[in-house]
Amino acid sequence: MSGNIEIKAYLRTDESVRRAQALADGPAVTLDQRDYFLATDTGRLKLRVESGRAHLIHYHRSNQPGPKYSQYVITPIEDVDSFLRDHRVLGVVEKRRCLLKIGQTRIHIDEVKSLGKFLELEVVMAPNQTQNEAKAITEDLMARLSISDDDLIADAYFDLLYG
C-alpha cells in the first residue's frame, strides 16, 4: 500500500491558488473526474474515471480536519461499464481538478459539482519517510498558501454531498 498525508480545505479566495501556481514545479494540468463511490466492508472504495481511463482506489483515512494519513491501493480497470454493473454504487462525485505539483506534493484545486471550490494537499510519502516528516511538509505548505485551520474540512466530498 502507498500512503500520503493530506488535507482538504474550503477555497475562499484565489490568493492560495496564485501562491500555489507561483511555487509549482510546472504548469497546471486540468482533469475532469467522475468518482463512483462503491459499497465496501472496510475503508472507502471508488472508481475514478478521467480522460478515458479508470482506476479503482481503495483507501483508509480518518475523518479529521487537520493533516491525516491516508493509505491506498490503485488498480487500473479496463471495462468500466461491466465493473459498474457488478458493484453497488452509493453515489457519484463530479469535479474539475486543476493539478499542480510542488516536490512530492500534489495540489488539487477542485471545483466540485453542487459543492463549490476546494483545495487539497497530498504529500506522497517516500518509502523511508515518516508520517511526521510528511506532516511537516503539509503544515509548511499550508502556511505558505495561507490555509488556516478554520478552512480545513474533515469529510470527503462524498460525505459533504450525501451526508
Q: What is the mean pLDDT of residues 74-95?
A: 97
pLDDT for position 123: 99
Q: What is the mean pLDDT of residues 110-134?
A: 98
What does the DSSP 8-state code read for residue 149?
A: G
33 forms beta bridges with 50, 95
Residues 72 and 1: their CA atoms lie apart, in Å, by: 6
Which of 46, 34, 37 is closest to 162 using CA atoms? 37
Average pLDDT along the chain: 97
Asked if CATH classification 2.40.320.10 holds for the domain at 2-162, the reply, yes or no, is: yes
Report pTM: 0.94
Strands (E), 11-161: 29-38, 44-50, 53-61, 68-76, 89-102, 105-112, 116-124
Query: Is pLDDT above 90 for 1?
Result: no
Q: Where are the domains of the chain?
A: 2-162
Tens-digit pLDDT profile for residues 21-60: 999 999 999 999 999 999 999 999 999 999 999 999 999 9
